[in-house]
Amino acid sequence: MPKKIYNVDLTGEERACLLDFIKSGEKSARKLSRARILLLADENKSDREIAEVLHTGASTVQRSRQRFVEGNLEGALDERPRQGRSKRLDEKGEAILETLAHSKPPEGRKRWTLQLLADRLVQLKAVDSISYETVRQEVKQKRIKLNVKKKWCIPTVGAEFVWRMEDVLDLYAMPYDPRRPLVCFDEHLVQLIVETRCPLPAKPGRPERYDYEYKRNGTRNLFLFFQPLAGFRHVRVTERRTKIDFAHCIELLYKICVMCENYAAACK
């Protein structure tokens, strides 16, 4: 049976999108290679010619053609998820690992090592067994720096700490229940900045330009109410973070919970 040939016929918009995609220079090498394959295929180049020009395999060219014809442009560029072994650490294990990496090392040790982290994860029963190489991959993926301390509060990771952290994680993992609304409440102080020079508007062939100089224009405190499972969010802005402001927000938090309960009762 002859091999199928997937002809790539790009629209003007798709071709322009691929050219911009290549010029950006911020994508992975694989995605850039697939974009160049589609552009050359659109110029009626054969698989062998494309493979020689891009120094890749003919099978790679054929797969890129097939993904585009059977799917779309985005599917042809993106990496398909690969099947593999399940992760050694679940979400709780990852949270424990990150907390350990930023905590005080064991007595007699100056800093955490990969083997110490692996042993500690087993001791805390976050996983039955784990190698230091798996820990290294997790640390690299999470971009955790073991020798850098950024937090002013250094936790002591013990059994009680892990139990309380797991209790919070279990709470966030619970399914949506309108009779028991999960509302998160937090605050954050932000600095207000203003531009010292007006930005230059965009022109044909030239993007809008901003100056790098800013001026501080005071601060404001943000109180955030967030119900993640229901998609509800409310932000209250105050000039300061006083006890009175905090008390008003707690009162509002209570009203939000009552409102959610009333809504759930009305939907029965």
67-114 residue pLDDT tens = 888 777 877 887 665 555 667 788 788 888 888 888 888 888 888 888
**What mean pLDDT is reported for the chain?**
80
133 has a pLDDT exceeding 80 = yes
- Residue 80 or residue 7, greater confidence: 7
Q: How confident is the model at residue 2 (pLDDT cuts 50, 70, 90)?
A: very low
For residues 8 and 5, the model is more confident at 8
Q: In this predicted structure, what is the pLDDT of residue 82?
A: 57
**Are 40 and 51 contacting, i.e. CB atoms less than 8 angstroms apart?**
no
Band of residue 34 on the pLDDT scale cut at 50, 70, 90: confident
More confident position, 185 or 73 = 185
If one compares 120 and 89, the residue with the highest pLDDT of the two is 120
Q: What percent of the chain has pLDDT over 90?
A: 4
**Arithmetic mean of pLDDT, 249-267:** 77
Structure confidence by residue, pLDDT tens digits, 208-235:
877 767 777 788 999 998 888 888 888 9
Per-residue model confidence (pLDDT) at position 159: 72
Domain assignments of the chain as residue spans, ordered by start: 12-77, 91-162, 184-266
Q: 91 versus 267: which is more confidently predicted?
A: 91
b/e sequence 176-190, b meaning 16+ C-beta within 10 Å: eeeeebbbeeeeeee
Angle between helices 91-101 and 159-173 (to 10 degrees): 140
Whether the pTM exceeds 0.75: the reply is no
Q: What share of the chain has pLDDT > 70, as a percent?
A: 87
* Kind plus residue range of the DSSP H or E element containing 204: none
Predicted confidence (pLDDT) at residue 205 exceeds the cutoff of 60: yes
Judged against a pLDDT cut of 50, whether residue 173 lies above it is answered with yes
Does pLDDT of 25 surpass 70? Answer: no
Higher pLDDT among residues 117 and 143, named by residue: 117
| pLDDT higher than threshold 60 for residue 116 | yes
pLDDT for 105 equals 84
Amino acid identity at 22: I
What was the pLDDT predicted at 81? 59
Q: How far apart are CA 255 and CA 185, in angstroms?
A: 13
What's residue 223's pLDDT?
92
- Please tell me the distance from the alpha carbon of residue 38 to that of residue 61, in angstroms, as a whole number: 8
Structure-model confidence comparison of residues 106 and 266, the more confident one: 106
DSSP bridge pairs for 215: 194
Residues 6+ apart with CB under 8 A from 89: 97, 121, 126, 127, 130, 134, 138
* pLDDT reported for residue 179: 76
